[in-house]
């Protein structure tokens, strides 16, 4: 059974940093690109970042480029999102999601982790 479990969320002050993790199991992790998708309270979904299975390619939404860094450890089947210079508008539930083949669709999602940026 495919499982994705996020951790590392919480309350952080504006300008601060936070590192999210997503532990994957139940599939060949290195064979799949992975993404982070966020959802601000009461708002829609926003794609944040993606990384290829081999970690040789990364992509970012304009809203986080230069502040967030996506990475993965294929030896530990874990995805990371390093978030720096956090702003109030980064407050959201952050989901990690598995990308399905070359379809650029997300076939499995974690349960989500809340990040709150507030003083």
Partner 1 sequence: QSALTQPASVSGSPGQSITISCTGSSSNVGSYNLVSWYQQYPGKAPKLMIHEVSKRPSGVSNRFSGSKSGNTASLTISGLQAEDEADYYCCSYGGFRRVFGGGTRLTVL
Q: Which of 3, 54, 111, 118 binds partner 1 (CB under 8 A)?
A: 111
Q: Which is nearer to partner 1, 55 or 61 (CB)?
A: 61
- Please, which contacts does 43-49 make with residues 24 or more away whose CB atoms are closer than 8 Å? 43/92, 46/92, 48/81, 48/94, 49/81
Total site size for partner 1, rule CB under 8 A: 21
> If binding is defined by CB under 8 A, does position 50 make contact with partner 1?
yes
Query: How is residue 88 written in tokens?
Result: 């109030």
> If binding is defined by CB under 8 A, does position 100 make contact with partner 1?
yes
| Greatest C-alpha distance within the chain | 41
Binding residues for partner 1, rule: CB under 8 A, are 35, 37, 44-47, 50, 59-61, 95, 100, 103-107, 109-112
């Amino acid at each position: 059974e495919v499982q994705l479990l996020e951790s590392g969320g919480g309350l952080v002050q504006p300008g601060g940093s936070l590192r999210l993790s997503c532990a994957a199991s139940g599939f060949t992790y290195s064979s799949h690109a992975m993404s982070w998708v966020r959802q601000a309270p009461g708002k829609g979904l926003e794609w944040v970042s993606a990384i290829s299975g081999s970690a040789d390619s990364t992509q970012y939404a304009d809203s986080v480029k230069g502040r967030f860094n996506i990475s993965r450890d294929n030896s530990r089947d874990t995805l990371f999102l390093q978030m720096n210079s956090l702003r109030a508008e980064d407050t959201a539930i952050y989901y990690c999601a598995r990308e399905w083949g070359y379809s650029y669709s997300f076939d499995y999602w974690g349960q989500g982790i809340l990040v709150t940026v507030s003083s």
